[in-house]
Structure 1
């Protein structure tokens, strides 16, 4: 039986979803969000002398995400009402893998993810690249490059300047680096190394005027504060820039779900994310960098040297 939520409060709807949260599919009937423009969630809408409660598709999507469901294609009942169906996301994720190297390899769950196809990450990362003026940089280092998605976006968005920039990508995973090399096989200005970031000094790479690291420096095998300070002190030019990505999401059943999952918590708990991000922000400000924090699924820290102005 499909529950009718055309007149119910969010408290009642939330309780219903909470009681059904283990079911594979949830079906409900709601007010068609297209019956009115520019209404806010919870507003009362009068239709044919009856009062209904308005909620947008975004509101329903947000609710579904909290219980790890995704919304399927709505079915129109008539011009005023729609049936919504929500499918439980498969609880199969790369996060739970015990593998060290191949957790992020070409045959892993992680390899199916393309952050560049997620509009929010695409927008936040592209804006960060523009803010650091990547097209004017000479040497770019990516730590935790995996299969080089971050370089792909730079090549596409800044194609006129791409060949004038030297790119270096480092990742511990050998199969991911092999794939990255295949992508850029015709680009002599791009080099990749399969190497442990803890042993980075052995490569004798020199300094860079842009360093990128998305979701890597928080890895359990790295001492975050120490490795971050070491990289800034030894690999970043004084007039350089950084783009760091702090994961604030999980990947489940083909969907990106908001909120970092901390150990020993059954819900999203973001203290560690904020602690690391603000440590970097404060440290870089002391080193005369202008620092911003943006993004949603990844908190993007962008730092540009004041000395460069």
Structure 2
């Protein structure tokens, strides 16, 4: 099929052509094709046909093309204007070998200050920070005076709290992580905040720190680690570290970090495609358990699934 005529084809046909083409490319090589300029009209859904001079063309939005680029494991580059009616859509094939998920290093420093992971700034990803801020508002963050973050890394989640809380200095924040260099980076970041403390510690041995109980416990992408027994650990945290009238925010990754891109969809071993069974297994267990403990639970998000729980106990 001619690449120059894809704008007349169905999305199924386009996907088949591009999947074949991208499979032939080396990492960082580009595939380009002609498409109807999405700005040519407004308030129209993808798939509708438009009459353009003497031919019929199919409308598709930029969001549609962006979604397709991720499904092809590509980065969508800036489209180039061909003329008033058409643009050149360009996809750059991602380098899967640059993913931190594949990096072989010491377990303690996979998420360390010098790792690829340290280059990831979740607070700058709209698909993450929008739902995280929403979760913080849902738990009335300014009223949660004692806050514990499990798997705090370099402290991004605390930075977000600081940005929206006028009473930040009145809060007591405690962050725990197994990675020494990440904890050192977090301490440096909050060196002027006496109300923020960090500990390098194994979450499996959390009770040994004797930190008392907290009004809010946050854990983003940590409790699902392979060296942790999720169900047992969650129950222990709720029973031993969370106040009866407390709240929780749990973040479950539904994405991969590859070659500078946050790519939608959880992956597990032995599957060449996104498979979210384990993700939803943990989400549903958490929801049911917390509801049994008299918490109101909401589930939001996309690339990260956020479970927010607030106590509704009356005693």
Name the TM tier (shorter chain). over 0.9
Residue pairs, 1:201-220, within 5 angstroms = 201-220=207-226
Deviation at 1:287, TM superposition (A): 0.3
Deviation at 1:207, TM superposition (A): 0.3
Deviation at 1:3, TM superposition (A): 2.9
Deviation at 1:2, TM superposition (A): 5.0
The aligned counterpart of 2:115 is 108
Deviation at 1:244, TM superposition (A): 0.2
Deviation at 1:48, TM superposition (A): 1.8
- The reply on whether 1:37 has 2:38 as its aligned counterpart is no
- The reply on whether 1:122 has 2:157 as its aligned counterpart is no
Compare 16-25 and 274-283 and name the one that shifted more: 16-25
Partner SS for 1:20: helix
Residue pairs, 1:168-179, within 5 angstroms = 168-179=174-185
In angstroms, what is the RMSD of aligned CA positions?
1.2
The aligned counterpart of 1:13 is 14
Partner Cα separation in structure 2 for residue 298 and residue 46 of structure 1: 40
Equivalent position to 1:251, from 257, 260, 270:
257
Equivalent position to 1:275, from 273, 276, 281:
281
Residue pairs, 1:26-65, within 5 angstroms = 26-65=31-70
TM-score (norm 2): 0.96
Judge conservation of contact 1:3–1:27 (CA < 8 Å) in 2.
Answer: no
Segments of 5+ residues of structure 2 without an aligned counterpart are none
Deviation at 1:308, TM superposition (A): 6.6
The aligned counterpart of 1:138 is 145
Segments of 5+ residues of structure 1 without an aligned counterpart are none
Compare 299-308 and 237-246 and name the one that shifted more: 299-308
**How many residues are paired up?**
308
Judge conservation of contact 1:240–1:308 (CA < 8 Å) in 2.
Answer: no
Moved over 4 A (4+): none
TM-score (norm 1): 0.98
Structure 1 residues 17 and 308 mapped into 2: Cα distance closer, same or farther (>3 Å)?
farther
Deviation track 1:67-109 (CA, whole Å, cap 9, x = no partner) reads 1101111111110001111101121111123331110001101
Partner Cα separation in structure 1 for residue 225 and residue 217 of structure 2: 17
Partner Cα separation in structure 2 for residue 289 and residue 198 of structure 1: 24
Partner Cα separation in structure 2 for residue 162 and residue 206 of structure 1: 20
